[in-house]
Amino acid sequence: MATPAATKRLTREYATISKSPPPYIIAHPSEKNILEWHYILTGPPETPYEGGQYWGTLMFPPDYPFAPPAIRMHTPSGRFQSSVRLCLSISDFHPKSFNPAWEVSTILTGLLSFMTSEEMTTGSVRASDAERKLFAQRTRWWNSTGGGSQHVLGQSHQALPSSNARGIGAIKAGDGGAKFRAEWPELDEENMKWIKEKRMDPRTGMPISRESEKPHCSPDMAGLRKRPGGSATVVGAAMQSGQVARDAGQSWMGRNKWRLIFGGLLAWILVARVVGDGART
């Protein structure tokens, strides 16, 4: 439980950071516990984290500001391990180096600065810029689905067994985004709309292919669709085949009637001449 001094100090700091938040930073205390703060760092431009939505927590000790908070980042970033306490000069790893004059805004500004550097410490990881950019593109999806445990948009989030609970303030893997939604309902709603607009699969965070949305058809019809030239070619081929069939069905006399008529006329003339010559004789 927070001491009266800690409660007073954190209440004042919340008013300050709400009125004048530092660049790329927003934060607020939990409604149930003023010692538990939730923050969002927006990845700064011209960094591998640009546009990313990085959510984390600060767990303050009851005697704050005379001791520093535990700092965690829950959203995968390629820079820190998810939900692992970070060893920083402004965190609970170094209580003797903490300055009581530092405030929440000071702590989070220092965290953002450390994030965009390459300095290593407990809880940090190495990754390429390309990998970190990929993480940044998936941060909204991860926050609002708990990393894919929300199977269908619009349905209730499904809680899965925890695999990374690491002390007070850690987020359980597979919570379906329940904790994020509870602390950031407006951002969660925006994220879900963003997932739909980007046509992302909520189970994987990957784009939904248009091929997977096409209606299924029978193998015969599928085979027709694969023929070169599409339906026009198929129809043209059918018409040509019909013409050939009709030609094949006609009789020999039908195809040669004019020759027969002309031949018959010549035969009639020859017969008439022969008969005429016989009569004169």
Cα 54 to Cα 98: distance, rounded to the nearest angstrom: 24
DSSP helix/strand/coil, 200? strand
Name every residue whose Cβ is closer than 8 Å to that of residue 204 and which is 6 or more positions away in sequence: 148
Written as six digits, the tokens of 213 are: 């949305």
Residue 148 backbone zone (phi > 0: left; psi -120 to 50: alpha; other: beta): left
**Active-site residues: which are they?**
87
Residue 263 backbone zone (phi > 0: left; psi -120 to 50: alpha; other: beta): alpha
Which residue, chain included where needed, has tokens 């290593």?
A: 120
Our CA angle for 28, 32, 38, nearest 5°, is 25
DSSP helix/strand/coil, 53? strand
Q: Which of 185, 178, 180, 189 is nearest to 156 (CA)?
A: 178
What residue type is assigned to position 202 of the chain?
A: P
Our CA angle for 82, 145, 43, nearest 5°, is 55
Answer whether 108's CB lies under 8 Å from 16's CB. no
Written as six digits, the tokens of 193 are: 């709309």
Which residue, chain included where needed, has tokens 């018409």?
A: 239
